[in-house]
Amino acid sequence: MTLQQSSHLSEEELNDVLIGLGSSEAKAHCDECESCRGKLRAFRSEVNAFNQASLAWSEARPGKSLRAAREARVRRMILSPAVWALAVLLLLMIGIPVWNRDHRAVPNGRTEPTEESSVSEAQIAEDNNLLRSVNAALSADEASSVSEYRLLDRPRSHRKARPELRSR
């Protein structure tokens, strides 16, 4: 911040002086120049007026907030049972039809045949034969991770498998 003797301080230089970061040249200029000193006084008085107005507003505010808090508490006390009643009513309106749909009683104690009970014994026997043929087709010599890592031969531990066993 170079200062010319014939000119006044710029806005930036005045701001630096106001916040205490001004150079010694800028401070000396303010001591000598009435115009720059007047700008500093005007700004300080505006800041002071703002501080006083915000202090007055904050001091007047608690009385209003206490009253508003009391009113909100009363509203909550009045509305709280109504809100709970509404929630219970909605739960019943939704819950009862769902409950009835899932727990529908069958008339005369008869059960309707389901897909599971309609499967015949012959179908079950056919499926078992198919599974036996698949098991026979699988080669017992085929390497599996159980035999490859000898998981059944050693006691189980919570450690990871060693790298030399994984590379096989």
For 36, the token pair is 């720059």
Position 96 scores a pLDDT of: 87
Q: Look up the pTM and report it.
A: 0.33
The three-point CA angle 143-146-148 to 5° equals: 50
Amino acid identity of residue 149, one-letter, is: Y
Q: Calculate what percentage of the chain has a pLDDT beyond 70.
A: 66
Render pLDDT for 87-106 as a digit per residue (tens, 0 to 9).
899 999 998 888 888 777 66
Between CA 24 and CA 143 the distance in angstroms is 86
For 33, the token pair is 């120049």
Mean of pLDDT values over 153-158: 60
Render pLDDT for 26-41 as a digit per residue (tens, 0 to 9).
888 888 889 888 888 9
Q: What is the DSSP string of 34-93?
A: HHHHHHHHHHHHHHHHHHHHHHHHHHHHHHHHHHHHHHHHHHHHHHHHHHHHHHHHHHHH
